[in-house]
Every structure is written in C-alpha cells, then in structure tokens.
C-alpha cells in the first residue's frame, strides 16, 4: 500500500500525521516543491518580518524527523507535474510514483501584479524566502507600498510600522479586509491602520509600476498619484496550485481552478482526496455552500480528515466545520468565525470594549468577528455549529458586553 501526499506544508503534514495516528503502516511518499520541510506560514507576515529575528521559519518537522518519526519518504524541492488516474501514478521530476491513495495538498500561489514579472523590489509573500527578501529590503530602509489590504497585506503594513518603515497600503475596495469580514467591520479596521501611522489609499486602483534600471521606483495609482517606493509587496489574493492537474480528470473549478471535492474531501476519482487551500468543499452548515477558506485551521482540519478518508473510505464523514481565522495587526487580534455572506451585520459590542460583530442569514447566526476579544470568539463558533438562532446570539452578546 502506498499513500502519496502532494504538497509538503500544513495540510500535507497533517495528512501524514493523521495516517500514522490511525494505524496506517504502509509506505508514505510526500512530494513538495519547496526545498524546505513543512513550516508554518502565519509567522511569515508577523514575527519573521521583525528586525533582528532569525527570519528563517522553524520547520514543524525536520526532514530527518519526517523520515524517522513519521516514516515518510520526502521528495523535497520536487514539483509534481501530472496525475494519471487510470494507472494511479503521479509524475514528478522525470519519475513516477504509484499510489493506492493520494492526498492533493498543493495549496495556492500568490497572484502576481500584471507587468511586475522580473522587476526588482516587487514581492509577494507566501514562502520563507519571500519573507527574507522583504526583511532585507527593510534592512536597507526601503520605502514601502503594499498593494492589497487583505489579511496578509495588512499584516505586512503592521510589521513595517513596527520597524519604523514608511508604508502606504493601497486597495481598490473602500475598506481593508472587506472580502473576509464585509465592509462594516472592514471600516472599523481602517482606524487600526491610521492610528499606527500607515498611509491609506482606499477605493483606488493601481495603474502601473514606475521602473528605473529594472527596479521599482514607485506605484502609479488610477488617480494619477505616484507613490515612491523601493519595495512593493503585492497581496492581491491567491490561485489554487493545480496547473499540474490539467487534463488529469480531477474535477477543477471553472472559476479559480481549485479542486472540487464532496463533503468528505473526495474528488470522485478513486483513492484521491484533497485538503487545504487547494480544495473547494461544500459545507453542510452553510446550505452546502462551496468553501475554500484559505486559512490555517481549515487546512489543518482537512489534512487530518483527508488522509483518514483516503485510507478508509467507508468511514468517511462530512466535515461540518465552521471556518475560523485570526489576523494580528499593530498588537490587535482580529478573529472571524463562519461566513461573511450575510443578510445583515450588526456591531453587537462597540469598539471601546473590543469590537464584536455578528452576521445574520435568515434567522440564524452565521458569522462573528471580534477585535481584541479572544476569549469570546470560540463561543460564537460553537453557536454557529449548533445553528443558534439570531435572537439568542444577540442576547448572548449583550450579556457578554454587560456582565452582571
């Protein structure tokens, strides 16, 4: 028996750990494009950008531990480039690996700004090597423009201010993080940036880059304004890493190319499951809406489940998980559970005691966002999982805001 895991990051590692925990003693091959063993990405936009920090991410497991503790045959620095579902083979670096079960955990790759290829000083942030390049630019005192005020872009701006770097954050939306938390809470996040001295250009598109001698010198906005910059960090979203699955027969989303799974993470191709940022999964808690959360907790939970289901399909169950993410800006913690796609959003607790916003769909609580209220967010996660009525959630929020 051979389990092949493609993608050596969070979802892939959790898949391997779960297989061993559930007693699987067969062969495991893990194919990963990066030369590094699996490491954690959230610190890349936080501690790893601080002055004086080591920079290099700590691996979850060293390559030696992958071999000795988990009994894995790691193929690191190797791109998988095809999957033959009839022969049950994955091709990589000129060889093929036969699988009985496979987990696709190839995650997602950052979208590039058109016209930025090959321009020095323009970076995305996905890998430990990207983080090192940004740190090095800040060591040289680079003025910085961040394009995209999602959670990665906002965290980069926060890290820049912590180092005293001048930074301007640009987004075509009117508020930061609006895709993830909606515009009402996004508007509240504007104050976090302003209070820390981050310049904002919101509701403004980017027209192009100013380039001198092959290196970026500024960002030209649609308004005609030019923001001088020696470093541009592009955080405009990601695309599922599935080019290697083209023509494989694995079902892919027409919208973004992500792998389409059922509620048990099965792709419909015998033996092949998917997990993490690469996977679209219908969520039974939210009217079977297809979700691809792009967050740490989902990748970890799905990786764990995918291997178990791949090795024992008869035991496979739907994953009724409530999506969760956190983001750290300027010493504030933003946390979100559920979905921002709602009929109504209300600020249930105002900002001076820490903000809580609740999201209603029909008569149910479907989402909650907090700023600096870490002890309460999981109580909303449980309520969403239990399909709590909206009125009960509002009562609970009022009680938390005014404890007796």
Ligand X SMILES: Cc1cc2nc3c(=O)[nH]c(=O)nc-3n(C[C@H](O)[C@H](O)[C@H](O)COP(=O)(O)OP(=O)(O)OC[C@H]3O[C@@H](n4cnc5c(N)ncnc54)[C@H](O)[C@@H]3O)c2cc1C
Which residue ranges make up the site for ligand X (CB under 6 A)?
6-12, 31-34, 41-42, 44-45, 79-80, 105-108, 125-126, 152, 241, 244, 276-277, 294-297, 299, 325-327
91 vs 26, 29, 82, 189, 404, CA distance in Å?
Answer: 20, 12, 5, 45, 63
Q: What angle do CA 361, 366, 372 make, to 5 degrees?
A: 130
Question: Which residue carries 């996004």 as its tokens?
Answer: 186
Which C-beta is closer to ligand X: that of 150 or that of 218?
A: 150
Helix H or strand E encompassing 189: helix 183-195
Which C-beta is closer to ligand X: that of 299 or that of 368?
A: 299
Min separation Cβ 395 and ligand X, Å = 29
Min separation Cβ 373 and ligand X, Å = 17
Which C-beta is closer to ligand X: that of 10 or that of 400?
A: 10
Min separation Cβ 127 and ligand X, Å = 7
Longest Cα–Cα distance of the chain, Å, equals: 68
Which C-beta is closer to ligand X: that of 78 or that of 400?
A: 78
Nearest to 111, CA basis, from 244, 258, 237, 207: 237
SS3 331: coil
For 93-154, the three-class secondary structure string (H helix, E strand, C coil) is CCEEEECCEEEECCCEEECCCCCCCCCECEECCCCHHHHHHHHHHHHCCCCEEEECCCHHHH
d(CA 90, CA 95): 8
Query: In angstroms, how far is the first alpha carbon of the chain from the final one?
Result: 59
Min separation Cβ 305 and ligand X, Å = 13
Which C-beta is closer to ligand X: that of 59 or that of 71?
A: 59
Min separation Cβ 105 and ligand X, Å = 5
Min separation Cβ 52 and ligand X, Å = 19
Min separation Cβ 22 and ligand X, Å = 19
d(CA 367, CA 393): 10
232 vs 43, 138, 149, 269, CA distance in Å?
Answer: 20, 11, 13, 41
Which C-beta is closer to ligand X: that of 30 or that of 165?
A: 30
Which C-beta is closer to ligand X: that of 204 or that of 297?
A: 297
């Amino acid at each position: 028996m051979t389990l092949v895991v493609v993608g050596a990051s969070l979802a892939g590692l959790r898949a391997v750990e779960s297989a061993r925990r559930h007693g699987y003693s067969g062969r495991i091959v893990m194919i990963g494009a990066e030369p590094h063993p699996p490491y954690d990405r959230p610190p890349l936009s936080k501690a790893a950008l601080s002055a004086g920090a080591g920079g290099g991410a700590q691996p979850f497991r060293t390559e030696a531990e992958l071999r000795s503790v988990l009994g894995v045959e790691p193929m690191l620095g190797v791109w998988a480039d095809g999957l033959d579902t009839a022969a049950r083979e994955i091709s990589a670096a000129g060889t093929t690996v036969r699988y009985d079960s496979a987990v696709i955990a190839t995650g997602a790759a950052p979208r590039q700004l058109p016209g930025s290829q090959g321009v020095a000083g323009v970076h995305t942030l996905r890998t430990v090597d990207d983080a090192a390049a940004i740190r090095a630019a800040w060591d040289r005192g680079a003025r910085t423009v961040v394009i995209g005020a999602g959670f990665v872009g906002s965290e980069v701006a926060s890290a820049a201010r912590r180092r005293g770097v001048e930074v301007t954050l640009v987004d075509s939306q009117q508020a930061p993080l609006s895709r993830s938390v909606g515009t009402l809470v996004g508007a509240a996040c504007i104050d976090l940036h302003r209070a820390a001295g981050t310049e904002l250009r919101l509701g403004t598109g980017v027209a192009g880059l100013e380039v001198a001698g092959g290196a970026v010198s500024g960002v030209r906005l649609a308004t005609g304004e030019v923001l001088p910059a020696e470093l541009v960090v592009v955080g405009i979203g990601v695309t599922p890493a599935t080019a290697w699955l083209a023509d494989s027969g694995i079902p892919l989303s027409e919208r973004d190319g992500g792998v389409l799974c059922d509620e048990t993470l099965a792709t419909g191709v015998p033996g092949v499951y998917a997990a993490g940022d690469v996977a679209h999964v219908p969520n039974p808690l939210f009217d079977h809406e297809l979700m691809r959360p792009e967050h740490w907790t989902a990748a970890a939970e799905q990786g764990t489940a995918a291997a178990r289901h791949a090795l024992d399909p008869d035991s496979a169950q739907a994953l009724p998980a409530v999506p969760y993410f956190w983001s750290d800006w300027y010493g504030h913690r933003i946390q979100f559970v559920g979905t921002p796609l709602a009929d109504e959003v209300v600020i249930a607790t105002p900002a001076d005691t820490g903000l809580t916003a609740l999201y209603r769909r029909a008569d149910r609580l479907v989402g909650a966002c907090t700023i600096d209220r870490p002890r309460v967010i999981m109580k909303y996660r449980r309520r969403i999982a239990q399909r709590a009525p909206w009125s009960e959630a509002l009562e609970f929020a009022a009680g938390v805001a005014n404890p007796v």
